[in-house]
Chain A
């Protein structure tokens, strides 16, 4: 029987309930576990949510051996394509395949609509915030966000003060991490406004899944994601530098730190998909405040740079002096309006984890709207009473360094040792501005195909938001998975994997 998505939940309940739910729990779900977290697939043990029914049925019908073969084929395909990331701090075998899980994560259209409007609202507000911070600073004068918070932020760039950027857009490419709470609602865990990565895995996962479940994929009516690269190119082309004149289209390049960067695969992939040059710092030079790339036919002007190099390393004349990755003179060319950068310099101020706590207020201040997506409750450790509370409850909370990403510099209270907690206590007392704390969230769980069967693992969701002429979200994103049993950390550098995300069509 081919189940239909359109059936009502009540009807499905009546169909599936007659037998005891245990009977329905055949392989590969025999050992599937539940806990307090929201389960993406099941609304109750043995009862799949309406949009997961067809997948559930397919998995019951498919011999495990078949799935295992598909999984091996997928792994091999990743290895052969060289879809790898680099692990820092290990000398040999630094390239690793990014683990891909075979079972898609499915999001109904209605839920996606809410995510989409919430993230559109958020990127609009954060851009207005950045423009304000680097110009008049009204939000500071009005006392909505404390001044000290901004001026003590490591990612605040004085060099950006008073500079008008093309279209007033500071963040053109954003990857926001969402988590689903036990009540089923989505919340923003963090904004990544500097150089977010992972979008290539979203595209690679989709290619693999289309091969593994072709008919299921077709029957589900999944929104396509393959136009991401084209949307990114349009976004970048919209950022024409103010002094650009005459020629037809601006020349866009992708600036990579090079082959040793953990996301190098992604840089090559995106450059290829967009049909633009992938350049390293040594390929570019600045002459008379114009940026050129060195080609076999001579020097060629560059107008827009999609940079995947951190602020610090962009220009040794302005920022970190010993950087060999950047281009001397680049920032002056930028200030002169001869080249655009995406994202601009200094956007890290708005994804500082302490500033994050103010984002709902920022949205209200600039847009006069209520935030569509909620924040996770956040304790600011510069506040005495909040700090005292956190120090008393370190074993329950998650503590994060405000300027870090990638799962580094984190304490997960319930999984920590007393030495680790003591270490963080000392660090917090020494530099309270440098840390925030949040309750330990019970991230939602989704079935993953591990060790030959379906097992529940915690997941998050990172959609990608593009902001050029208008705001574009490709329907989908990277669902990251904490592959270790019980783990809450989904970062690829910390043993995470990813799975394809199917946003269903309306």
Chain B
């Protein structure tokens, strides 16, 4: 046995992976609601009423029954509601709890940063996430998460544990961006190669901003928004960190690194991620749109689920008999 190889408990890897997924989910939620609040200021109440359903769908939260679908109620449901397991609070709390269970594995700075973020969210009162004051809150969450990522990259060894964090972040990001694109295209069918205008323009800006992509898109294609180009940018751009292609590339890199570090023979996770990466690398946007954007993103999400399952089976929850033979 190689004495110098670091070992990592399966449970620890599992915790780091989920910590990262939950934090990514929390920031995604924060960004979506933040963008939504900004957009609402510019829209008439009628125009914005349909947006809530799209938002709930993008966040995979079932529309609550017996409550008015007004901004205040839904914002609370998605942010501070402790009984909603998908709320921003619940995600940050779950991320922290996962890290707390393995805090000896991360750097002190990482733990302190995530714990601080948690305490900030925990002490936020419900009137601080309303339309009037929410800006500061969402900014805190996003900055807190960025800081955590920076602290992680600069204080933790870029070894196996770090790769599980990468893996969690980019699997979650691939899945949530794909879901967001799907929800948007099904809600707002628009001629693909025509520039969008007036009120609808704001909706497309909001989609890009929800992926932190508006400025990067403008640099690439100017502020003229065509659905085809937006879809191409968010799906296939290989250098923008919130695009699906970029996320899958990182996911694949993390899986390859983990497979090398653990010297495990099972290649299933790498194969699944590699296949997904190849699909994205060789896809043309007009072909994708011709055969249906929604079906395409659904297939990406299905492959994400497969990748997730294979990681569980190979690294986290393998049968003992198999390991003893090896």
Contacts and interface: CB of A to CB of B under 8 A. Distances in A.
B104 A298 contact: no
Contacts of B8: 295-297
A259 interface: yes
A259 B5 CA distance: 27
A79 B316 CA distance: 32
B111 interface: yes
A100 interface: no
Given A82-B103, A268-B104, A299 B112 contact: no
A47 interface: no
B108 interface: yes
B9 A297 contact: no
A283 B320 contact: no
Interface string A262-279: 000000110110000111
Interface in B1-54: 1, 3, 5, 7-11, 13
Contacts, number: 80
B135 interface: no
Interface in A257-314: 258-259, 268-269, 271-272, 277-280, 282-283, 285, 287, 293-300
B103 A272 contact: yes
B203 to A, nearest CB: 41
Contacts of B67: none
Interface residues on A, range: 20 to 34
A297 B7 contact: yes
A248 interface: yes
A280 to B, nearest CB: 7
Contact of B258 (A271, A293, A294, A296): A296
B125 interface: no
A271 B105 CA distance: 9
Contact of B112 (A81, A278, A279, A300): A81
A93 B323 CA distance: 40
A80 interface: yes
A300 B104 contact: no
B175 interface: no
B76 interface: no
A298 B116 contact: no
Interface string B93-130: 00001001111110010011001100100000000000
A254 to B, nearest CB: 9
B11 A268 contact: no
B7 A283 contact: no
Contacts of A258: 101
Contacts of A259: 97, 100-101
A296 B262 contact: yes
Contact of A299 (B13, B108, B320): B320
B264 A80 contact: no
Contacts of A80: 112, 115-116, 119
B116 A269 contact: no
Interface in B274-326: 315-316, 318, 320, 323-324, 326
A82 B100 contact: yes
B263 interface: yes
A330 to B, nearest CB: 15
Given A79-B119, A80-B115, A82-B115, A295 B10 contact: yes
Given A296-B10, A296-B160, A287 B104 contact: no
Nearest to A79: B119
A152 B293 CA distance: 75
A248 B13 CA distance: 26
20 contacts: A80-B116, A81-B108, A82-B115, A247-B3, A259-B101, A268-B104, A272-B105, A278-B104, A279-B9, A282-B11, A283-B10, A283-B11, A293-B7, A294-B10, A294-B320, A296-B8, A296-B315, A298-B264, A298-B326, A300-B1
Interface of B: 1, 3, 5, 7-11, 13, 97, 100-105, 108, 111-112, 115-116, 119, 160, 258, 261-264, 315-316, 318, 320, 323-324, 326
Given A82-B111, A259-B100, 7 more contacts: A247-B1, A259-B101, A279-B9, A283-B11, A296-B8, A296-B9, A296-B315
**Across the A-B interface, the 8 shortest Cβ-Cβ residue pairs:** A272-B104, A297-B262, A268-B104, A271-B104, A296-B315, A295-B7, A268-B103, A294-B10
